[in-house]
Structure 1
Amino acid sequence: MTRITSLIAFACAALVLAGSARPALTVGVSEDRGKDTTATAAQFFQTLQDVGLAQNRVSIVWNPAQPSSIAQEQEIKNWLPLAQTAGVKVVFAVSAHNARDFSSSSGAIAQFAAFLQTVAHAFPTVKDYVIGNEPNQPLFWLPQYDTGGKPLAAAAYEPVLAQSYDALKAVDTTINVIGIGLSPRGNDNPSAKSNISRSPVRFLHDLGVAYRNSGRAKPLMDQLAFHPYPARNIDLPQTGYTWPNAGLPNLNRIKQAVWDAFNGTAQPIFKEAGKTPFSPPLQLDLDELGWQVAPLPPLAGMYTGTENVPTIDEATQATYYTESIQSVECDPTVASLNFFLLADEPELTRWQSGLERVDGSKRPSYDAVKKAIHDSGGTCQSGLEAVWKHTGGVLYPVVGWGDLKHVRPARNTKWAFKAGAQEEAVFKAAVFKATTSKAKILNVLRRGQPKALLVARGTIRAKNRVVVLPQSRLKAGRYVFAILMQATMNPARTTLVVSRPFRVR
């Protein structure tokens, strides 16, 4: 198999000498524990300050039964000055109480937008808002599909984000509106027995379609929140996912999906190498990441229930957290990275990913994260910044023609080769006489006229497959195989590959 690198823009992070003073990566936590009491909040923010964690994402729940009421409003007012004293930026993640809250009432979106304005007026020092949480997951958004299997979630979420953006900007144009809170995984299967969900790449595609269809001439978001959890809790930070899911090492997949969805619209996309954007580019807010750890035996009695994921040990967690920080410090498109949580939850069916154990004692990851932040200050220590550029072709196409030097007998009727890509693509493949120009081959495969020899169509599902052409004899002569791949997430992205000639005799 041969990778066709010469035919596509290289859509992965290259490394270049850092030539600009990008803002340092902000490292923080996503944790609600500081909201409990003023005393708890004081200790909480002192701990964040000690570690060097400069951001805390806090959840604010909108309840349609009390659409204008802010839960724990006074407690929040009490502890916000503590965060400011500790140098911790507070981010509000505002989401609905139940997964069907937006779909069950035609007036819910307007009420939610009004609630955001109420929150923004109540807490004018908070300038960052995440809108919703993992709408590509059924735990947080329903329905995901209609009865016919058509995806619904992104199209339903788009007006929520649009009206939220407008509502918050009407209060304060400097508010940073952060979209989605995207889950790293989804099964794209409306008939699945469980977790009927949408993958992040397909969700972004659906969101782009809804945005374009809406005719909106303003952005949806200033940043994109993404939760790059590992596929399995025991996976390395470098393991990642296969397309169309994405994790920490697959951020370029998210960037490409955003480009496919929004390029040429009023919604900013991620900064590309060699291009100067007309408006501030989109950035990533990686606001949830964590690996769960097995409780130490002496503390087992402080935890309840039964663990529901394979765990790692504390030393491994510390290593993974350090590597996670280092992996994004040199990516200027990443504004922040939040670990989920500061301290363990006691129920084993929930999260034991904290820098602290359930009793408040420090895990090795506490000092590891503290050291990583201290050593780099969130800046690119290698001096080599990652740069990204979208691809205009199919992502990483590969083709294996077989032995083209082998002379095929005229009685041969079987014709096949292997082809693949690292994304889903439809294809049209055919045989042409070797004298046919590449331009004519492209025109024939695109338009279907004039007819090619032995035409086959199909889908490449983000992996290699055998392309089988119709069984037929070819006259003696010289021929070429050709395949035109077209990305399903953006039909404008195509890749044509033509083989060297082979002979039939």
Structure 2
Amino acid sequence: MRWGLLGALVVLALAPAAQAGGPTLTLGTAEDIVRSSSLVEAKAQMTLLQLAGFRAVRVTSIWKPGELAPGPAERKVLDNVVAAAELSGIRVYVSVFHAGSRTTPLAPEDRAQFASYAAGLARAYPSVRDVIVGNEPNLNRFWLPQYAADGSGASAPAYLSLLAETYDALKAVSPDVRVIGGALAPRGVDRPGTGRDTISPTRFTRELGVAYRASGRPLPVMDVFAFHPYADNSSRSPELPPSDPDHLGLVDYPKLVALLGEAFDGTAQAGSTLPILYDEFGVEATIPTEKASLYSGTEPATTRPVTEATQAAYYRRALQLAFCQPNVTGMLLFHSHDETALSAWQSGLYYADGSPKSSLAPVRDALAATRGGSIGRCEGLALRIKPRTAFSARTLGIALRCDLDCVYRARLVKLPAGTTTAATSGRAKADARVAISLRRKLRPGLYRLSVSVTHPVNRGEPVLRESAPFRVR
């Protein structure tokens, strides 16, 4: 099935996706505020994520050279994260990486320790099945060297070695662990010796594929590809293309899929069908005067934060785009809560003190509309409703619950002619219980209650449910 958001500038014919987006998207936040040595605090913060409409959280776990598994302090924090998430019904992603480029795991011994650490984490927490390997390895902030002495790319081949070894270690723990690779930044200068050596995701993905093919590896290295599709700055809508064609944004999904296909199709590693996780996407909002005392430092001029209304609109637009991208399995907003340093991220739906921004409610509604399948209309997407119904001949009522957003038409039918005695129509949100009444005074005879449901935006085949015939005397 080929989908595209109506009005998109480009539609690319793609191989069938391994997983589809739409209402199956995992929607959450990349947020370490839930990392706490107190279970009570971890659960309190997890509850705030629930109230914002998130159903998943990505937390970090930092590997340090010499570590073969998470230590006691880290285990205590992760114990609380996992317990709080289970109590809250929230899915946990863990991003395992090193603190910065000074500890890049390049040597075989370091790679083995890193892989052991990730495997130890997966072994300790069987409910955590999503592990992200590394973070933005195309940036010098997290990986050095980016280039070899001759100017060729060095980071992609080295990262591939780490990813492959960690993949094997995690799969040895359980084949059910989803190994998530990439986690690429959306930009890079592609020129060595600039003082900030970085590589664009376009070049990095190609070089990752070249290195994989050259390795002759008969196994995959990842189950999912993670990407951070930030806009050039917060003032740019996610539907606008980046300023540099080698940079990638949300609107560049066709290019990303094509790059993955170029890199891996025809090998043991899935390429153009590889599931994609947007595990970071953020829009910074300006801080109102009454909240300024919560923050410190200076906002970088390059950030260009927006109003909270614009933040909410951009998050909604981002969800619309991701919803219609078939290979995309999830989107995690960066963050749920603002960071206090203005040099960092004020992209949350909560201020630094935990009070909600005005953007929270509309974003929560957008998340609900995404889960209900109504955030946008996608070309070729036809959603079939799975309703649950209960009929009452005594009260002439119908109890209805749709798994997705739905529109319904309920009828009281006179038998055997099939004529409509009474009817009503309406709309229901996903998982909402609706009580439909067709009560009226009836003449004696044989009747039946029926309800037909379909999706209001991405219409599939209508689904009809009928009661058994009943007699009115």
Q: Which TM bucket (shorter chain)?
A: 0.7 to 0.9
Q: Does 1:332 align with 2:323?
A: no
Report the residue type matching 1:59 in the other structure. Answer: T
Distance 2:249 2:119 in 1: 33
Contact 1:289/1:340 (8 A) holds in 2:
yes
Distance 1:11 1:326 in 2: 15
Aligned to 1:494: none
- Aligned pairs for 1:40-189 within 5 A: 40-70=41-71, 71-102=73-104, 105-189=107-191
CA deviations 1:220-246 (Å, max 9, x no partner) are 111100000011221111112132110
Distance 2:241 2:362 in 1: 22
Distance 2:271 2:131 in 1: 19
Report the residue type matching 2:238 in the other structure. Answer: P
Give the SS at the match of 2:60.
Answer: strand
Measured after TM superposition, the shift of residue 150 of structure 1 is: 1.4
Q: TM-score, normalised by structure 1?
A: 0.69
Q: Does 1:284 align with 2:242?
A: no
Aligned to 2:233: 232
Aligned to 2:35: 35
Aligned to 1:245: 247
Aligned to 1:311: 305
Report the residue type matching 1:324 in the other structure. Answer: A
- Aligned pairs for 1:474-493 within 5 A: none
Q: Does 1:379 align with 2:373?
A: yes
Distance 1:382 1:34 in 2: 31
Percent identity over paired residues: 36
Distance 1:257 1:378 in 2: 31
Report the residue type matching 1:28 in the other structure. Answer: G
Distance 1:23 1:359 in 2: 32
Distance 1:55 1:12 in 2: 30
Aligned to 1:214: 215
Aligned to 1:276: none
Contact 1:27/1:378 (8 A) holds in 2:
no
How many residue pairs are counted as aligned between the two chains?
364
CA deviations 1:443-478 (Å, max 9, x no partner) are xxxxxxxxxxxxxxxxxxxxxxxxxxxxxxxxxxxx
Measured after TM superposition, the shift of residue 76 of structure 1 is: 1.5
Contact 2:186/2:249 (8 A) holds in 1:
yes
Does the C-alpha gap of structure 1 residues 65 and 171 become closer, same or farther in structure 2, counting only changes over 3 Å? closer
Report the residue type matching 1:186 in the other structure. Answer: G
Give the SS at the match of 1:364.
Answer: coil
Contact 2:93/2:130 (8 A) holds in 1:
yes
Contact 1:62/1:97 (8 A) holds in 2:
yes
Q: Does 1:297 align with 2:297?
A: no
Distance 1:317 1:26 in 2: 20
Q: Does 1:203 align with 2:204?
A: yes
Report the residue type matching 1:330 in the other structure. Answer: C
Distance 2:222 2:346 in 1: 31
Report the residue type matching 2:137 in the other structure. Answer: P
Q: TM-score, normalised by structure 2?
A: 0.73
Does the C-alpha gap of structure 1 residues 152 and 64 become closer, same or farther in structure 2, counting only changes over 3 Å? same
Aligned to 1:260: 262
Aligned to 1:363: 357
Distance 1:52 1:209 in 2: 40
Measured after TM superposition, the shift of residue 300 of structure 1 is: 0.9
Unmatched runs of 5 consecutive residues or more in structure 2: 1-9, 382-473
- Aligned pairs for 1:450-489 within 5 A: none
Give the SS at the match of 2:101.
Answer: coil
Distance 2:318 2:161 in 1: 33
Measured after TM superposition, the shift of residue 100 of structure 1 is: 3.8
List structure 1 runs of 4+ shifted beyond 4 angstroms.
20-23, 380-383
